[in-house]
Amino acid sequence: MKFNKGDKVQFIREGSLIDGVVKEFKDCSPDMWYLIDDKCKDSWIFEGHLIPLTPLPVIPQFVADWIEKKKENGDDLLVALDKNWQGMKDSVRDWFDAEKERYELFARAWLDGYEVEQEPLYYIKVVDSRFGYIHLNLKTGDYTTSTNEEVFVFKTKFTESEIKELDERYWQFAVPVEEVEGK
C-alpha cells in the first residue's frame, strides 16, 4: 500500500501501537520506507509494518457532551446508551432514534475517542442594517447589536443550539455565516 506525505498511519514499536504522520518516503526498490513523525521521535519504518490509521468517529457536540458527562459520573457504556436514563437531553435521544447505526457509532466514540463535527455557524441579524447583528460580550455576558465582525471579546457567530438557548424566537433571524461572507 502506498502512503502519501501527511497520511496518518499506525505501526507497532516495542509492543505498543503508535500513531504517526508520514513526513517523507524513500523508494529503495524493492522496498519502500517512510519517515514517520510519531510526536516522540521520527522513525524510518518499512512499508509492510504500516497500516492506515482508522479515522475516529465524527459526532455532534451535544453527543460528545453526553459522553463526557457520563464518563465524569463514572457511568459505563451501557448506562450511557440507555435512552430512558434521566438527564439525557432530547437532542441526544433524537440523534439515537434517527438511525439505528448510531448506537454502534456512539460505542466506537466511547471506546476509541471521537472528533466533533463542525456545526454550521450563523449570525443573528435582527435589524436590516450593517449594525443589526447580535453579538455577545464574552466578558460581561451582555448581548447587544453591532456589525457582524468578531473583535476583541465580542462573539457574533453562533451554532443553532446556542441561538435557541438564547431564545427560540431568534432562530428565525439566523443567517448562515457563509451566506453573509460569500457576498
Q: Over the stretch 113-162, which tens digit does the pLDDT of each residue have?
A: 999 998 899 999 999 999 999 999 999 999 999 999 988 889 999 998 88
CATH code, 17: 2.30.30
37-63 residue pLDDT tens: 887 788 898 888 888 887 889 999 999
Cell of 84: 430512558
Q: Is residue 144 part of a domain?
A: yes
Domain residues for the domain of 78 are: 58-116
126 and 177 share one domain: yes
